[in-house]
Amino acid sequence: MKQSFLSRIQSYFDGRYDGRYLEFVLAEIARRHPKAISELICSACGLPSRSLRAPVLIPEYRYESSGSRRADLAVFSCPEDSQPVVLIEIKYRDKPGRDQLPSYLKWKNGADGRNVLVLSREVLEPEGFAFMTWTRAARLLRAHAAGSEFVKALVEHLEEEGVVMQEIKPKPLMGFLKRILAPHAAGMQAGNVTGPEEFSRLLKNTKLLSARFNPLFKDAWRSAGKRGTSDPSGTKDASIDFDVINRLSVPTRAELYDESLGFPKLRDAVRAGGVIDVYARHSLGSGKDVWLRVGYGFWIEIKRSSSHEPSHHPTVHLWSWAYGAGVKRYNTRTGEDVDAPVQSSEKKISFALLTTKAEESIDRLEQIVRKQLVEVLEQLRSPSDILTAKQRLAVKHLLKRLRTA
C-alpha cells in the first residue's frame, strides 16, 4: 500500500532533524505546484524564468565531491535529466558547517551551469553561492498560497515558527496597545479580536531579529572557556519579553484607584498613555553576584492621540542596554554611581518598520543593533571590576565579532 505524503515524512518532524522535513515539503510542492518552486529557485539563483520547465526535487541527494556527500535537495530541470542543475542546503535554525560549503563549491565548479542555493533564517552571503532567507522565500510562495492549500500551510507554518519576518497590520495593533495604556474612549476599536495576534507577530519578529545575534553570543561564551564557572546560561537563545509602563495623569492614591471592588483598581480616566517595551535579552552569566543580561528592543510610546494613521503613528525608538550584578552608571544629578543599566544612544525609527514594512526591515534593524551593542559593551569593559574573567573575555569576543561581521 502506497504511503501518504505525511506518513512518509513523519519521522523527520523529530527535533533532532531541525527542519529536515522542509526538504520533503518543498519536494512535494514541486510535484503539485511546480511553478511556485520554479519561480523561487530561479529568483534566488538568477536563472531565466524558463530554466526549470518541470522541476523535480529529490531530498537527501548523494553527490560526489571529495567522496560521497549529501545535499538536502537536488533540483532537476525536468524528469528526463540525469544530473541536477541546483543543489539546495537548508538551514532552519543553524548555519552551514565548515566542511559543507567547500564540498558544494567543488561540485558547482565541476561543470558549467551548476548552482548551489542556501536557504536560511539568517542572511548569509557565502561566496560563490546563491542564498535566500526564509522571509523572502515565504514572500514569493505567498503569491501562490491562494491557489494551493499546501503552499499556504507551509507559509503559515514558517510564520508560526518565527522563521520569517511577518507584516503587521497597524490598525488592530494600535487598538490593542491603546486598550492597555489609554482610556477606553481614546479611539480604540470595538471587537478588536486580531489585535493580540498582531502583537504576537511583533514578538515573533523580535525573536527573529535576535536569531541574528544568538550565534554571536553563544560563540563568545564558548570561546571564553571554563574560566570561573561552567554556567550554561550563555549557550541559550535570547529570551523575548515585553514591559508595560503606564503614564498616569493624577498624583494621589484616592484619585488613582477605585476600591469599590474590595481591592485597588486603576481608574480608567487616569490612564494617559505610556510605553510598550518589546525586547530580546541575552544572558552572559547567572548567579546572585555574577548575573549579566544584554538586550535590545523597541520602545513604543503611546499617547491618547496615537493611531494607525501615518500622521499620528506612535514614536518608536530602538535601543540596546546591559544590566546585572555590579553594573552601575554615573548619575549626573547626584554625582554618584547607582545600580542602573548601561545603555546605548537611542535610534528613532518609523512605526512602519515594525508593521507594514516589517518583512523588509530586518537587515536595517540588525545593522542599528550591531552598532548599539558595540556602544553598550564598550561601556561594560571600562570598569575592570564589574565582570568576571569569563565575562570580560566573552565581551571581548563579542566586540570583535560585532565589528567584523
pLDDT over threshold 50, residue 239: yes
DSSP 2: P
**Same domain (yes/no): 146, 256:** no
CB atoms within 10 A of CB 36: 24
Q: How many domains does the chain have?
A: 2
Q: What is the DSSP letter of 262?
A: S
Q: What is the mean pLDDT of residues 232-240?
A: 80
Q: What percent of the chain has pLDDT over 70?
A: 84
Verify that 306 and 371 share a domain, yes or no. Answer: yes
158/179 Cα distance (integer angstroms):
29
| CA dist list (Å): 48 to 40, 51, 62, 130, 279 | 12, 5, 26, 14, 42
CA–CA gap between residue 180 and residue 192 (Å, rounded): 13
pLDDT for residue 11: 52
Pick the range with the lowest mean pLDDT from 65-69, 160-164, 229-233: 229-233
Q: Is residue 277 part of a domain?
A: yes
Examine the domain organization and report whether 221 and 94 are in the same domain: no
Comparing 234 with 380, the larger pLDDT belongs to 380
pLDDT for position 156: 86
Residue 362 located in a structural domain: yes
Q: Do 241 and 128 share a domain, yes or no?
A: no
Q: What is the pLDDT of residue 163?
A: 80
Which one is predicted more confidently, 295 or 230?
295
Which of 128, 160, 192 is the last residue before a domain boundary? Answer: 160
Same domain, 143 and 255: no
In a domain, 116, yes or no: yes
Beta strand residue intervals within 284-389, DSSP E: 292-302, 315-324, 328-331, 336-339, 342-343, 347-349
Q: Specify whether 229 is located in the same domain as 319.
A: yes
Q: Which three cell numbers stand for residue 403?
A: 565589528
Q: What is d(CA 261, CA 284) in angstroms, rounded to the nearest whole number? A: 44
Categorize the per-residue pLDDT at 148 as very low, low, confident or very high, splitting at 50, 70 and 90.
confident
Q: Which of 138, 160, 182 is the last residue of a domain?
A: 160
When pLDDT is cut at 50, 70 and 90, the band that residue 21 belongs to is: confident
pLDDT class for 211, splitting at 50, 70, 90?
confident
Per-residue confidence (pLDDT) for residue 6, from 0 to 100: 47
For the cut 90, the answer to whether the pLDDT of residue 177 exceeds it is yes
Task: Tell me which range, 100-104, 246-250, 390-394, is most confidently predicted by mean pLDDT.
Answer: 390-394
pLDDT for the residue 291: 87
- Selected residue with higher pLDDT from 300 and 5: 300
pLDDT above 70: residue 319 = yes
The mean predicted confidence, pLDDT, of the chain is 84
- Least trusted range by pLDDT, from 107-116, 153-162, 211-220: 153-162
Asked, for residue 219, whether it belongs to a domain, the answer is yes
Domain span including residue 255: 170-404
* Shared-domain flag, residues 140 and 180: no
pLDDT-derived band of residue 41, with 50, 70 and 90 as boundaries? very high
Q: Which of 160, 179, 199 is the last residue of a domain?
A: 160
The more confidently predicted of residues 272 and 297 is 297
**Mean predicted confidence (pLDDT) in 54-78:** 90
Same domain, 284 and 265: yes
Domain identity same for 196 and 142: no
- Of 182 and 345, more confident: 345
| Ranges 20-34, 93-107, 137-151, 288-302: which has the least confidence | 93-107
| Mean pLDDT on 85-96 | 83
Give per-residue pLDDT as tens, 340-395: 678 999 999 999 999 999 988 888 999 999 999 999 999 888 766 678 888 889 99
pLDDT at 255 > cutoff 90:
no
> CA neighbours within 13 Å on the CB side: how many for 388?
23
Label residue 331 by pLDDT band (50, 70, 90). Answer: very low
> Is residue 165 assigned to a domain?
no
Let me know if residue 310 belongs to a domain: yes
pLDDT in tens, 216-232: 898 899 888 764 445 56
On whether both 126 and 185 belong to a single domain, the answer is: no
Check whether residue 100 and residue 198 sit in a common domain. Answer: no
The residue assigned the cell 484619585 is 255
The one-letter amino acid at 312: H
134 and 244: one domain? no
